[in-house]
Amino acid sequence: MSVKETIDIHEILRKYPQARSVLARFGVAPGQRTTLAVAASEKHIPVNLLLAALEEIGNAPPARDDVLTDWAVADTNELIDYIERQHHTYLRRELPHLEHLLKRVMKTHRRRYGTMLGALQATLASLRIEIEEHLRVEEQILFPRVRDIEHHRRNGGSPLQVGGTFVDVVAMDQMKYEHELVDAALTEIRKLTSNYRPPEEACERFAALYVGLATLATKLREHVDLENTFLWPANVRGLTRTQNNLLQDTVGSVYSAQNICPRTHQPCTAGSYAQCNCFWDCIAEEIGLKRPE
């Protein structure tokens, strides 16, 4: 994407529809009949930051399924492939890069912005730990489980036999809880960075960091939405409404609400799923998967 600050916003969206999400992130209304430079000035955003964000999405490799696929009806395996290819690969590459970039920004701007950058470092480091474990669980336990459910379903297996069991719903609930933790971290990052707006005197590296953090938030929220809306419900796809409600009500009142171990069916010895270091190992054992080291 080649964008200049003198280009009209309407023209940008005509040529690059994917720019809508970037403009919205910075509070720029897509219907404005003005130039990028004027819009940036009105929002007190450095125009170079806005240009860099637009270039970022323009230089991203095209993905045919990114825009065209209707995930509500798409093949479950295709959705998993997309998540691994477009999200997992990106996150494993980008999180270390952002931490490194933040470290360099801290070195340069510690005197004036050290407190804010220190809090940002702590939040990003915690988020990286959470995300990397989250990706491992998905790739080693949950995605194989969902693929197995889909395979049996295609071959005529009963939904209650191949998916939608209590342990599946408990696992799904825990992943949604982890998604809430991710959302809380992203909200904190957005707050610390004043909605990803670097100081007026910020250097190019500082601005690049904020662009990267804003892009990270967009990617992670897409990841969360795809899984919560389309992937995890695939575990119980094919159940009748009564069966679905029975599973959800039972898990909510007996398992999740009381933190019942999905393997022993006894109260979790750690007190809660969130505090249990063995939770995903218990899930893996219960569904017959050996978790890789």
Looking at residue 180, what is its pLDDT? 92
CA 39 to chain centroid, in Å, comes to 29
All residues at 6 or more sequence positions from 102 whose CB lies less than 8 Å from its CB, including other chains: 117, 120, 121, 124, 209
The pLDDT value recorded for residue 255 is 55
DSSP 252: I
What is residue 292's predicted lDDT score, i.e. its pLDDT?
41
Return the closest-CA partner of residue 56 out of 84, 16, 89, 92.
16
Exposed, middle or buried by CB within 10 Å (0-12, 13-18, 19+), for 257? exposed
What global pTM score does this model have? 0.72
The separation between CA 271 and the C-alpha centre of its own chain, rounded to angstroms, equals 27
Identify which of 150, 198, 159, 227 has the alpha carbon closest to the alpha carbon of residue 26: 198
Domain regions of the chain by residue span: 1-60, 71-286
Helices 47-58 and 204-226 pack at an angle, to 10 degrees, of: 50
The tens place of each residue's pLDDT in the chain, 293 residues long, gives: 567 888 888 787 777 766 777 777 777 776 667 888 888 888 777 777 778 778 766 555 544 444 446 777 778 899 999 999 989 999 999 999 999 999 999 999 999 999 999 999 999 999 999 999 999 999 998 898 888 877 777 776 654 444 456 677 778 878 888 999 999 999 999 999 998 888 888 888 898 899 899 889 888 988 888 888 888 765 555 444 444 554 455 544 455 556 777 777 778 888 777 778 888 888 888 777 644 44
Q: What is the DSSP letter of 8?
A: B
Could you count the other beta carbons within 10 Å of the beta carbon of residue 91? 19
Task: Say what the pLDDT of residue 182 is.
Answer: 94
